[in-house]
Amino acid sequence: MDKYLIRGGRPLQGQIEISGAKNAAVAIIPAVLMVDGVCRLENIPQISDVDMLLTILEELGARVRRVDATTVEIDCTHVHFADAPYELMRKIRASYYFIGSMLGRFGTAKTTMPGGCNFGVRPIDQHVKGMTAMGATVEIKDGFVYADTPDGRLRGAKVYLDKVSVGATMNIIIAASMARGRTIIENAAREPHIVDLANFLNSMGADVRGAGTDTVKIYGVDRLHGGTYTIIPDQIEAGTYMAACAAAGGELRLKNVIPRHLECISAKLREMGVTVVDGEDSVLVRSNGRLRRVNVKTQPYPGFPTDMQPQVSTALCLANGTSVITEGVYDNRYKYMKELRKMGANVVVDGCTAIIEGVDALRGARVAACDLRAGAAMVIAGLCAQGVTEIVDIHYIERGYEDFVGKLRGAGADITLVRDEQDAVAVAAAE
Ligand code: UD1
């Protein structure tokens, strides 16, 4: 089994270049299915979720050409409705965006129920509500999602989301871009990747207005044309390194970021006693010693992101005093706490609340990445811990962090990726 080995106790120093945003890329790539012409996407993150989505497009008949590590050209002009590679779709949460893009392009869709990280029940009822309001019949049966329209095209509609959902907001925007007439989404999510998706679609000829507010209006068009689009930097990747520096100590400059998107994270870190200085397209993070305890409540953007909860909670395991974490988005996102306890963390979980009593030190242990962000949290714990930490199930981490090990090593961390065959040798060397 592949794993990371970390020898903790080294502060982070230097600079790290932030990659393109995962959650923007994983919506934009499925949306390219609707584009008639060549679409050139720049600043694509090199992560396994992106690779899987590009493979799905290829299997559907798209021509995909890697121009360089972060640029890809996709031509979906001659794609026909076909059975998608369901085994791949099942593995990835963002495959739900194919419901929207297939409906937009073909007026009919068949996908699997989405996979991805498991933090409790993750229904897609709000996606279905949107597609149904736009005239589709949607049936979920035996793990598949079947959607169809009576005359091959969705029609604009008014959709009020019962729950602020990033995925449903983006899926409805995608589908509505090629619907007949105007769609209005009320109580829409406002994350930066929603604005990025709208900007991408608009640059290909769509008419999406109000993205980034809670009311989004989409005027359907007949055709989307090719073009070039650059994906925004990843807010959560940047936040993860900020939390790592706060926890492990040191001084890091994160380059290629949009500081405004990080404000919800920067504000919390400042409250924890960390110095965060915004630059034009960079942020500087400087640790000032032991962290101060804080309370954290996760909420939809611009609130504190649920995708940063495990990383900041891990940092707080070493803070001075008791912190209270309230998970306001998911009902089961604390599974990783039992791994942190193996490292000496003092945490009590009660439903959506976690109470963290700061300890003086964590100690290295063998722990698992329970999901993508929990895996990043384990890495942060390992960077701070005394001794060697071994992290297994790292495939979760590789879904969403480009070259995690390389970037951390560049900033002075003692972390090694051990591929299966090298196992024995590397473990021996670390012990
Ligand atoms: C996306 C992100 C994920 C992030 C989350 C919240 C992707 C691929 N994933 O996930 O990293 O943690 O946003 O920022 O972009 N819900 C429903 N019905 C629905 C949809 C959602 O009840 O139809 C609930 C969910 O169970 C959850 C909450 O709404 O409790 C928010 O989910 P949502 O914003 O939709 O998250 P995802 O799109 O799955």
Range of the domain at 257: 3-19+233-430
What Rg value do the Cα atoms of the chain yield, rounded?
22
pLDDT value of position 121: 62
Last residue of a domain, one of 173, 202, 230: 230
CATH (domain of 213): 3.65.10.10
The distance of Cα 109 from the centroid of its chain, to the nearest Å, equals 24
- With 0.85 as the threshold, say if the pTM is over it: yes
The distance of Cα 232 from the centroid of its chain, to the nearest Å, equals 13
pLDDT value of position 57: 95
pLDDT value of position 116: 56
Same domain flag for 286 and 412:
yes
Same domain flag for 49 and 119:
yes
Q: Whose CA is nearest to atom 5 of ligand 1?
A: 166
Last residue of a domain, one of 187, 202, 230: 230
Same domain flag for 271 and 400:
yes
CA-based max dimension of the chain: 66
Q: Hunting for tokens 């007026």 — which residue is that?
A: 107
How high is the mean pLDDT in each 10-residue block of the chain (431 residues)? 96 98 98 97 96 94 96 94 84 92 96 70 90 96 92 97 97 98 98 98 98 98 98 98 98 98 98 98 97 98 98 98 97 95 98 97 97 97 98 95 98 96 45 35
pLDDT value of position 90: 85
Q: What total number of domains does the chain contain? A: 2
Same domain flag for 242 and 296:
yes
Strands 35-42 and 63-68: unpaired
Beta carbons of 32 and 44 less than 8 angstroms apart? no
Same domain flag for 145 and 246:
no
What residues flank ligand 1, with Cβ below 6 Å? 23, 26, 93-94, 122-127, 163, 165-168, 189, 306-307, 329-330
Same domain flag for 10 and 71:
no
> To test ligand 1's pocket by mutation, which of 50, 131, 166 has the most ligand atoms within 8 angstroms of CB?
166
Q: Whose CA is nearest to atom 22 of ligand 1?
A: 123
pLDDT value of position 119: 57
pLDDT value of position 424: 45
Q: In what order do the strands lie in the sheet with 353-357?
A: 296-297, 322-326, 353-357, 346-350
Same domain flag for 258 and 200:
no
Same domain flag for 173 and 278:
no
pLDDT value of position 420: 83
Same domain flag for 184 and 239:
no
Same domain flag for 282 and 338:
yes
Last residue of a domain, one of 171, 206, 230: 230
Beta carbons of 333 and 309 less than 8 angstroms apart? yes
Q: Whose CA is nearest to atom 7 of ligand 1?
A: 23
Q: Looking at the annotation, which residues are catalytic?
A: 117
pLDDT value of position 421: 67
Same domain flag for 58 and 7:
no
Same domain flag for 269 and 208:
no
